[in-house]
Amino acid sequence: MNAQGLSINLATVREQWNLGEAVEACAKLGIKAVDPWRDQVAKFGLNNSAKVIKDNGMQVTGYCRGGMFTASDAKGRAAAIDDNKHAIDEAAALGADCLVLVVGGVPQGSKDIEGARLQVAEGINAVLDHARAAKVPLAIEPLHPMYAADRACVNTLRQALDLAGQIAPDVGVAIDVYHVWWEPGLAEQIARAGREKRIFAHHICDWLVPTKDILLDRGMMGDGVIDLKAFRGMIEGAGFHGPQEVEIFSAGDWWKKPGEQVLKTCIERYNKFCK
């Protein structure tokens, strides 16, 4: 089984293993890239995480996650900026290709989503110099609109590219099939992202019908309705040839299976459905 070009977002096996175990299990199966989460790194230790990643020759296709810039008061927004600077430093220590930004939803008690979007732009602007100094590119990840209230008020690739364009030429996007597969004009926006050199990461999984939980029921590639080969064709056509990163939150299914089985299935489905 060929795992060339495959990355594993470590949330996919977060219930089975700690960070070190997960990285070693990936390496054993020939997987050469991972994307860890901050809580996993915090638990395993930043130095230990950097070491196990380096010892196993892993590319770090992203670091999850920064963002959450929106808050109901100035103090909350300042705390978010501070926290993002820490995330940038951790991403640098891990050698991550980018820091993935899940930008934040509508602040508690607010009904002003456009105001939230302004806060996001301000937040990214406020950490940009820190990110540049640390050589950690920032990747805005548009999230499916069902998360607009509580996770991210940036919900389409078009909107993410517009926002990145307003901020700076070196702010990019993480394109996750789960969030944007349905977007009208997707091909055009992916091509635009390529022209603007803003594709920093490509996440994969599948959209199940029915989806039983809006957060924790992502599907394994091939089990849902996303045309993953066509999607990858658009991404490569736009000039991005980096790894496809599997990111599956699945409380009812994949998080309950043995980790090795999950990784083997990822490799098998990646070869069959994604390239």
**Contact residues for Zn ion (CB under 5 A)?**
176, 203, 247
Identity of the residue, 90 or 176, whose beta carbon is nearer to Zn ion in the bound complex? 176
Identity of the residue, 97 or 176, whose beta carbon is nearer to Zn ion in the bound complex? 176
Task: Compute the least distance from the CB of residue 176 to Zn ion, in Å.
Answer: 3
Identity of the residue, 17 or 200, whose beta carbon is nearer to Zn ion in the bound complex? 200
Task: Compute the least distance from the CB of residue 77 to Zn ion, in Å.
Answer: 24
Task: Compute the least distance from the CB of residue 247 to Zn ion, in Å.
Answer: 5
Task: Compute the least distance from the CB of residue 203 to Zn ion, in Å.
Answer: 4
Task: Compute the least distance from the CB of residue 202 to Zn ion, in Å.
Answer: 9
Identity of the residue, 77 or 94, whose beta carbon is nearer to Zn ion in the bound complex? 94
Identity of the residue, 203 or 232, whose beta carbon is nearer to Zn ion in the bound complex? 203
Residue-by-residue DSSP string for the chain = ---TTEEEEGGGGTTT--HHHHHHHHHHTT--EEE-BHHHHHHH-HHHHHHHHHHTT-EE--EEEEE----SSHHHHHHHHHHHHHHHHHHHHHTBS-EEEE-B-SPTT---HHHHHHHHHHHHHHHHHHHHHHT--EEE----GGGTTTTBS--SHHHHHHHHHHH-TT-EEEEEHHHHTT-TTHHHHHHHHHHTT-EEEEEE-B--SS-S-TTTBPBPTTSSS--HHHHHHHHHHTT--SPEEE---BTTTGGGS-HHHHHHHHHHHHHHH--
